[in-house]
């Protein structure tokens, strides 16, 4: 900002102009002289100056009558007016129009230099503040981080644009509202309120990670770095929280942990299945022989039936865990999805026997074949149908809707059961999570892995009449190894 050392003097009397120039040159300032406002305007259009020093009486009028033109052309460069005592009242009125200061004749060089230096120092400070403000605004608007300010009562004072882009909350939604009640889940509130209370009483600042509730109800995992922030006058204090969205990292970490768990399960189950298969076969062989020996003894036959069912359940459980832990390599072939889900429905005939159950196919556009692993897709539909049948003891209505195009097949399996609780929705695809007394908790995770092996997706939520599971797979997709 070298132009700040350059001063424009507007003075029509040559001796007075040279006198002012000499005073300021001694202190290292660069001087340019203009004899009128008109000459000064031409100079101001071509270059910038740090200060404009002008006489009040000029050939083209009083300075206060031309002041707005000068300020506009010069981008509001500070103006100092040189005046006598008789004009002092008029100069004071000119302050209202925008002059920065005045110097009274006869001029004392030290006073003039001090006034110019003071105004230039203020201008440098203003420039620095302007740059810092612009930088802060740019950081707030472009950084992919949340900037949040709340008071120690939890009221929202300010947040940046990225917070709105991430969560959907606008300024009108949250400013003045309680942060903990609007955006924090109940199970996290006590911890965060305690952090806020600790910061209000001590100088210890704590970072933390927690979920925040978006406007659409979704949750985002945020890693916070907190500090105290005070107003410029040292008055009220606030909490300045910088947050980074780590939802994807958290999900990736969970996937890695799940993969390690599955690998461990796979090794354990492989050894367990090998050792258990022979034992189960011995139980089955012995129970068949025993069945011959106890034929006609009703009590013994019932007890033996319990043993046989237990052996069958154990075999099924081991096979389910083994199948889940093993990598899925889809063997793709062209097939009609309607035929696949109809076979899955037929496989559950014994489960439907004696019940009021209806499968409704609302299919209008899925008339073409799709490339899938037939066996795996039968397993997927069988699991979904079985969940719907077991969700209710009363009549069951299951609908299959289809929305397809040239690239994707999107199916919705909708039942009229009780729907999903918030806990079930959060953990539905987690291995071994179940609300059934005899379930393994692997049905939906297996469905997810089958969908992913086809390069597709699966999601579940509540429908107006029960639960809705949406499956989307490409019509033609190379097999994907899911381990």
pLDDT digits (tens, 9 = 90+) for 216-265: 888 888 888 888 877 666 667 888 888 888 887 766 776 676 666 666 66
The H or E element that residue 121 is part of is: helix 109-142
Asked if pLDDT for residue 86 goes beyond 70, the answer is no
Q: Is the pLDDT of residue 376 over 80?
A: yes
| Mean pLDDT of the residues in the chain | 82
Over 60: is that where the pLDDT of 365 sits?
no
Number of H helices, E strands in the chain: 16, 21
Tokens of 32: 């340019």
Tokens in use for 37?
Answer: 């406002």
Q: Where are the beta strands (DSSP E) in 23-155?
A: 30-34, 51-55, 57-58, 61-62, 79-83, 101-104, 146-151
pLDDT at 457 over 80: yes
Alpha-carbon distance of 174 to 155, in angstroms, equals 9
- With cut-offs at 50, 70 and 90, classify the pLDDT of residue 278: confident
Question: Which of 34-47 are b and which e, b meaning 16 or more Cβ less than 10 Å from the residue's Cβ?
Answer: bbbbebbbebbeee
pLDDT given for residue 314 in this prediction: 75
| pLDDT of the residue at 323 | 64
Token pair for residue 392?
A: 């209710």
**pLDDT tens per residue across span 282-291:** 888 888 888 8
- What 3-state class would DSSP assign to 10? strand
Q: What is the CA radius of gyration of the chain?
A: 40
- The pLDDT of residue 385 is 92
Q: What is the mean pLDDT of residues 348-364?
A: 85
The two structure tokens encoding residue 362: 């609302």
Residue 439: band (very low, low, confident or very high) from pLDDT cuts 50, 70, 90: low
Reply yes or no: is the peptide bond before residue 19 cis, omega within 30 of 0.
Answer: no
At 432 the pLDDT is: 73
> How does DSSP classify residue 86?
G
Q: Could you read off the pLDDT of 30-57 as tens digits, one per residue?
A: 999 999 999 999 999 999 999 999 998 8
Least confident of 195-204, 285-294, 295-304: 195-204
List the structure tokens of 294. Answer: 């106890």
Whether the predicted pLDDT of 274 surpasses 70: no
Q: Give the start-end residues of each E strand in 347-455.
A: 357-362, 370-372, 396-404, 408-415
- pTM of the entire predicted model: 0.43
Among 422, 426, 351, which Cα is nearest to 382's? 351
pLDDT (mean) for 416-441: 79
């Amino acid at each position: 900002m070298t132009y700040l050392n350059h001063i424009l003097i507007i003075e029509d009397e040559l001796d007075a102009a040279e006198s002012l120039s000499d005073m300021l040159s001694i202190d290292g300032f660069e001087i340019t002289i203009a004899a009128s406002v008109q000459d000064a305007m031409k100079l101001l259009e071509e270059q910038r100056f740090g200060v404009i020093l002008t006489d009040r009486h000029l050939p083209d009028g009083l300075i206060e009558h031309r002041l707005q033109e000068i300020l506009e052309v010069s981008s509001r460069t500070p103006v100092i007016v040189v005046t006598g005592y008789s004009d002092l009242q008029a100069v004071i009125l000119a302050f209202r129009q925008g002059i920065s200061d005045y110097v009274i004749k006869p001029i004392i060089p030290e006073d003039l230099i001090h006034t110019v230096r003071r105004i230039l120092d203020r201008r440098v400070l203003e420039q620095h503040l302007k740059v810092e403000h612009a930088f802060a605004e740019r950081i707030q608007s472009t950084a992919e981080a949340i900037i949040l300010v709340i008071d120690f009562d939890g009221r929202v004072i300010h947040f940046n644009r990225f917070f709105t882009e991430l969560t959907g909350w606008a300024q009108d939604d949250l400013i003045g509202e309680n942060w903990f009640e609007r955006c924090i889940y109940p199970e996290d509130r006590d911890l965060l309120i305690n952090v806020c209370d600790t910061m209000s009483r001590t100088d210890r600042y704590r970072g933390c990670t927690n979920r925040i509730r978006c406007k659409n109800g979704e949750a985002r995992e945020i890693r916070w770095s907190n500090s105290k922030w005070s107003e410029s006058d040292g008055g009220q204090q606030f909490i300045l929280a910088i947050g980074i969205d780590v939802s994807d990292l958290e999900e990736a970490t969970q996937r890695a942990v799940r993969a390690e768990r599955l690998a461990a399960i796979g090794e354990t189950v492989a050894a367990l299945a090998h050792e258990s298969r022979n034992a189960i076969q011995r139980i089955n062989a012995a129970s068949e022989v025993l069945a011959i020996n106890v034929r006609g003894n009703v009590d013994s036959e019932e007890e033996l039936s319990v043993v046989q069912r237990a052996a069958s359940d154990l075999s099924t459980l081991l096979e389910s865990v083994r199948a889940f832990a093993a990598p899925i390599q889809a063997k793709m072939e062209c097939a009609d999805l309607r035929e696949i889900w109809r076979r899955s429905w037929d496989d559950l005939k014994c489960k439907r026997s004696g019940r009021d159950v209806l499968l409704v196919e609302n299919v209008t556009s899925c008339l073409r074949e799709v490339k899938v692993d037939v066996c795996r897709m039968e397993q997927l539909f069988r699991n979904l149908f079985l969940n719907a049948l077991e969700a209710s003891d009363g009549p069951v209505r299951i609908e299959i809707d289809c929305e397809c195009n040239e690239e994707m097949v999107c199916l919705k399996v909708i039942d009229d059961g009780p729907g999903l609780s918030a806990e079930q929705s959060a953990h539905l695809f987690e291995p071994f999570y179940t609300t059934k007394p005899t379930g393994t908790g692997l049905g939906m995770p297996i469905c997810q892995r089958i969908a992913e092996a086809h390069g597709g997706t699966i999601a579940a939520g509540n429908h107006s009449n029960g639960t809705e599971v949406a499956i989307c797979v490409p019509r033609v997709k190379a097999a994907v190894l899911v381990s």
